[in-house]
Structure 1
């Protein structure tokens, strides 16, 4: 195993590698093209060198980047965690060196930063923001970057020795053509990513810290004419690398970050990620997922709508512990909401490496809901086994144990996933899932459905085009078969999903997707009021994503989506553009219509409506960075949908939808939201926010309204109209 040098002197993070200590660093030069996954050596004029050095303040990383005039420098100023086209370097570090979790740190040529947590091999959560340093500098030959990752950013197991084993990844992204150069040559699109990082032994230093963040907010309601003031406190204490505590009293989760607008008519709720600092900081140990995008811990539940329907719950206090005892990693989370309709949440997590490549975990959670006289408990065991570089096996067994009003309801589930990557061209995945019809982990988790037996088989083929004169660089083709039934034995529709990506040497991307869907029972659409025998159907999508062309980047897609009683699909078009007239200002636009003559909606019990549909959406984002530390952002979204020519249908006991001959009135749903936000960075993890937010949603039964009329009306919607000022400062 390689050893990275250590340095006693501090590194000045200024983007200039002028300290003599950098000569002691471990050097990495063998970068390969991994996006698209071609594994070609770095091209002439793109020499890339990374350095790794352990210092008393943290792990220091430097990049020396050659960039000839043949590769245009792309350096727009961006908000934190934006994934726009830009020249960027990234280092990802697995601090325990066991392939379970890693932390990613990226800096653009403009100085914009991006950080996130990598879990489950390749799942990147960008909601995590932490305190680290970076700087860049330019010259005629290229540019340089320095990053300093403090020892305190993450819990670390087994931290008593003079050295520790970590695993690292270095990446370089080109804004001009979208390519990524990486060492080692691993990519998130492959089966193995985090566990394929390069192991290295580094000198280890102990560091402790104690931070306190008081906050103050003033929220003025422009509709009611009232102003609400609030104050609270966040605390973070890390006395050693093996223990850290986060606590919050009367936390403020005001509308600093706005969610995307969604009009959801489906039986499955919309998933929203959590951007609240307390719940994103060092949350990786609780990031336990299930197939079908489920999560056993979904922190958006905490502070969600109260059980009495009175609106969002206030949180009195919350506490989080992370640490390790020898090889055993642990985490504890607790939160309590205010009032008689509030809830209490408790969760605990353990992880233990049985041997290299074999890890066992346990998670338990309890939610007390006194207003509903309900207690919900979830228990889960998970296993991760990586016997060699080609094979990854993950498995989980879980159960829910719920008592409500003296009634007991227990449910069980389990799943197994096997990833096999025999070579650089082929990857295969087998996934088997069983969820009992009483399994319910929604009190603190996110569960799309219960009562599921599913077998998935996936094959992915990657073709690298060797001819340098070809405009095409690589292609990626995939096929996935999903066979499903519910826990009562009803056969659900079988899916055959086909996909293809065409990556061009210019950086442009064309993608193709199609699904062939067999007939089968739909057991969700009626919300428990009977099964519907759905006919066979298909969907398809084709899209184009461009590289940067001057100040512009474009995207377009067209889709066929089955939304109705028959197989005839709706049509949807989406157009998008990003505009970069200067490094300090950028704009994004996206809009598109959808339309179809066959749209089926559940309207209660066994009643359904069948309509002609027209949907419209548009979004506009403007970002301006007038000076370092200052950001001004406008985010505006509009979503509208209309149903016309409606007919009532009723679900028969035999699972058929039968027309009643009764007409249904035309209706429309109109949703608009706007936020203008100013952010000033007062210091590390210290900010001043000023945000104006306005929006509303309206459902109407009427005829004759058109797209222009809905847009005019949307601008007048005013269910919420408020101004928020917030200051949060770290001591």
Structure 2
């Protein structure tokens, strides 16, 4: 029997699969018992020099849940997940998921235990639901993945199934993503691979009607992907445009910490994992949403991406890559240009890497160079260490600014129930990474420790498994100010009927808040606490619900609460609706005014979000997203922060209120897995009431009335 004869139709035809070995031994990996199971699912594997075929059969005990959702989203109902470590270096795997409805997702999973669904490529699958089982037949071509070619390639394979009847996950190997030896426990297979050249071309045309500005715009662009050999990939993009098809979450951010948004443009998500270097405080060495937009260090700058180029090469245990991007000139000012270089060497399960970023911002005569080196070391199958050092060199017209940072993190699974994690890092006060990177905050010397205990061996008719956690955080800055220390504990209980309950308590000591005034005088605050209670229902056939309540103290011993609730309902086989609401109230909400001035408010914020997904047919879907947030602040007092951190009362400031909204109606017609036509209508707006004269209902009305953006957008993306 030749595997080329296998037809991907969801039927494991004996004439096609022949006498291929059927594996029926599984391990329960969530809840984490690692008990051996037989026939929860079976799997067959055939490899050729073109790719890998998988025949998966999941036995079912009851009616399976239907969930209407977009492709490339993780599932909450019965599904298979396949992971392939193609370089067999325990650092990264490709991930492919299929559920019983025939939906899919694909992405990458890296050594930092992060699933990234931004990666997409061509592969075949078909799912078929029968009376007592459902079958997924899959073909993944080697050409869809990038890896080093050898005479005989050894790769790691991990297959798992989420069984919604038990709310448990079963796998082909006794390990899961929580464990440090996860990749090492993959099954090892070998195959020969054809080293073929691949060229893909994705042109697009888009048309936008700006109703606010009464303007029309037509745009042309393209993405190019060329893979001359299996271990090389060259990508290029000209005038990319994807932002109006995918919408970011509506976030109202009053804090000094910048909001983090993920990348949604295909060029930057393709083959990007080599450049993905992360560290504590969400430090990201290359954060591609910086490219083609606003500048972190020049508030008046805003531009679009003109073109970009990316090249990666792998050989033996070496990987190198280059990423170069150029922005359009605007208002007689030259656009920024970006250059990122990355090289790394793998030996066994260890990785040593070096990164160099160069960013030129002509609008403010700023040149930035960021150098970093990172090391991932596998101490044993259950323990690992990560270390890194980073330096920024900023060249300005009048002066130069240089600073460094470093980090050490580690984790250890003593056994199946106990796990420990720690991080120790120092980021200099003049460390500047946000030209192309991201970091929550600098000027930090910090230590964090987390412990978790999980058990599923409970002799109880009600409780299925329990997870208990403990954390502590100690920190200061380069002014050696006493910053608040944190200590916390929490518990999560899952019942046999699949309800999840969680509770936690955090205590913050008194100390300085050195962020609120944006590098002016730090503010001394008393100790505070935060209590959390939450409950999530099982996944019923009709949907699910959840709620979480936070309460405690903040500011100058003021009380606060924050309650969030959501419900998701599957109306029928094609329509899914979800609604979430939230309300936050604080008796002592402190907000920065300017310089060393702050205000204390009695503050209330409400939010509502509605999502509707309608599957018109197998290749047509309709999505509606609506989000609105309102807030009202009653001024209690105005303060000036003195050099010792104490707040000196002044005359009261004004009250204020605000509202924001975002709406999108999107139609998608999929021509194939990577080609589609989009048509969307959207608007968004914000309203500020400087004397807070309007009630909550009127604030919502004003947000919808004051449209800052109002567009009709169409886009066609093809594949050749």
Q: Residue by residue, what CA displacement relative to the aligned partner does 1:346-394 show, whole Å, maximum 9, x if unpaired?
A: 11111212x3122211111111111111111111111111132111111
User: Which residue of structure 1 aligns with residue 244 of structure 2?
Assistant: 255
Shift of 1:682: 1.2
**Alpha-carbon shift at residue 540 of structure 1 (Å):** 1.8
1:724 maps to 713
Aligned to 2:683: 694
SS at match of 1:719: strand
- Cα deviation, residue 624, structure 1: 0.6
Q: Does the Cα contact within 8 Å between 2:3 and 2:46 map onto a contact in 1?
A: no
Q: Distance in 1 between matches of 2:559 and 2:302?
A: 38
Deviations 1:147-167 (A, max 9, x none): 22221223202x031x21111
Aligned-pair CA distance for 1:25: 4.9
SS in 2 for 1:710: helix
Q: 1:364 to 1:156 in 2, by over 3 A?
A: same
- Per the TM alignment, residue 634 of structure 1 is displaced from its structure 2 partner at its CA by 0.2
Partner of 2:454: 462
Asked if 2 retains the 8 angstrom alpha-carbon contact of 1:220 and 1:226, the reply is yes
| Aligned equivalents of 1:152, 1:667: Cα separation in 2 | 57
Match of 1:401 among 393, 403, 406: 393
Q: Distance in 2 between matches of 1:569 and 1:174?
A: 43
Q: Any gaps of 5 or more consecutive residues in structure 1?
A: 1-5
1:452 deviates by 1.1
User: How many angstroms does 1:104 deviate by?
Assistant: 1.0
Residues 475, 326 of structure 1: alpha-carbon distance in 2 compared, 3 angstrom cutoff: same
Contact 1:8 / 1:56 at 8 angstroms: preserved in 2?
no
Contact 2:91-2:349 within 8 A present in 1 as well? no
Q: What's the TM-score once normalised by structure 1's chain length?
A: 0.94
2:698 maps to 1:709: yes
| CA pair 721-374 structure 1, distance change in 2 beyond 3 A | same
2:503 — aligned with what?
512
Partner residue in 2 for 1:348 = 341
Alignment of 1:184-199 (within 5 A): 184-199=173-188
- Does residue 151 (structure 1) correspond to residue 142 (structure 2)? The answer is yes
* Alignment RMSD (CA, Å): 1.9
The CA deviation at 1:455 is 1.3
User: Take 2:222 and 2:52, find their aligned partners in 1: how far apart are those partners?
Assistant: 30
Q: Is 384-393 or 627-636 further displaced after alignment?
A: 384-393
Partner Cα distance (1:612, 1:406) in 2: 44
- 1:720 positional shift: 0.7
Residue of structure 2 in register with 1:410 after alignment: 402
Aligned 1:292-441 pairs, distance under 5 A: 292-305=281-294, 312-339=302-329, 340-353=333-346, 355-441=347-433
Residues 562-616 of structure 1: CA deviation (Å, up to 9, x unaligned): 442x233310111101100222110111002111211000011011110001110
In the alignment, the residues of structure 2 paired with residue 717 and residue 444 of structure 1 have an alpha-carbon distance, to the nearest angstrom, of 33
Aligned pair 1:11/2:6, yes or no?
yes
Show CA shifts across 1:121-164 (max 9, x none).
4111122222222110121121100222221223202x031x21
| Partner residue in 1 for 2:636 | 646
Distance 1:372 1:531 in 2: 29
Q: 1:489 aligns with which of 477, 480, 484?
A: 480
Give, in angstroms, the shift of residue 671 of structure 1: 0.5
Distance change (3 Å), C-alpha of 1:717 and 1:78 = same
Deviation at 1:561, TM superposition (A): 5.3
Contact 1:207 1:241 in 2 (8 A): yes
Q: Which residue of 1 aligns with 2:277?
A: 288
Asked whether the 8 Å contact 1:308–1:341 carries over to 2, the reply is no
Q: What TM-score does the superposition give when structure 2 sets the normalisation length? A: 0.96
Mapped contact 2:66–2:541 kept (Cα < 8 A): no
With over 3 angstroms needed to count, the CA separation of the structure-2 counterparts of 1:177 and 1:526, relative to structure 1, is farther
Query: In the superposition, relative to structure 1, how do residues 292 and 300 fare at CA in structure 2: closer, same or farther (>3 Å)?
Result: same
The Cα of 1:544 is off from its aligned counterpart by: 1.1
Task: State the shift of 1:303 in Å.
Answer: 0.6
Superposed CA deviations along residues 189-223 of structure 1, whole A, max 9, x for unmatched, are: 33443444333323333333111111101000112
Q: 1:93 aligns with which of 71, 84, 95?
A: 84
Query: Structure 1 pair 554/40, CA: closer, same or farther in 2 (3 Å)?
Result: farther
- Report the Cα offset of residue 542 of structure 1: 1.2
Inter-partner Cα distance in structure 1 for 2:229 and 2:18: 30
| Residue number in structure 1 paired with 2:171 | 182
- Aligned 8 A contact 1:13 1:133 in 2: yes
Q: Quick one: distance in 1 between partners of 2:187 and 2:158?
A: 7
Distance 2:369 2:551 in 1: 41
Q: Secondary structure at the match of 2:670?
A: strand
1:657 paired with 2:647, answer: yes
Partner of residue 3, structure 1: none
Q: Secondary structure at the match of 2:595?
A: coil
Q: Distance in 1 between matches of 2:675 and 2:274?
A: 26
- Residue 8 of structure 1, CA deviation: 5.0
Are the counterparts in 2 of residues 121 and 194 from structure 1 also a CA contact under 8 Å? no
